[in-house]
Amino acid sequence: MDKELLKAARGVLDNAYVKYSDFHVAAAIRLKDGNIITGVNVENASYGLSNCAERTALFTTYTQGYRKEDIKELVLTTKKDYLVSPCGACRQVMSELILPDIDIHMVDSNDNVTSMKNKALIPLAFSEEDL
């Protein structure tokens, strides 16, 4: 796992807008051109309108003109001392916006790392072939 990528994610962790849960999450995406794009979770009083860190980082990546072929790896971190993995909505979005064999690293506050391929996070994901 890219230590600079983890540092970038931790560098924005306090920017999470978590007024209701106090559950900080940050994500960072390393692109093949070397750039890093970060994202944090942003809550809303209407919980369904909140956005997770992974989706924030991915949507920013796409907004800047990058696509799934440009993504090298993603790291996700929290202030918790236990493993936190992407929620189901994020897994579904990741299955479409990140190539299947890209490494997803989940890092707790004690630097314990769990890494998985993107395709392992949501087997049998709904895809364009299902439409």
d(CA 57, CA 101): 18
d(CA 131, CA 124): 14
Asked if residue 113 lies in contact with residue 103, where contact means CB atoms within 8 angstroms, the answer is no
Q: Kind and range of the H or E element at 59?
A: helix 53-63
Distance of CA 99 to the CA centre of its chain: 14
Residue labelled with tokens 């949507």: 59
Among the listed residues 54, 73, 128, 129, the single catalytic one is 54
- 43 noted as active-site residue: no
Lookup: tokens for 12: 């924005």
Residues with a catalytic annotation lie at 54
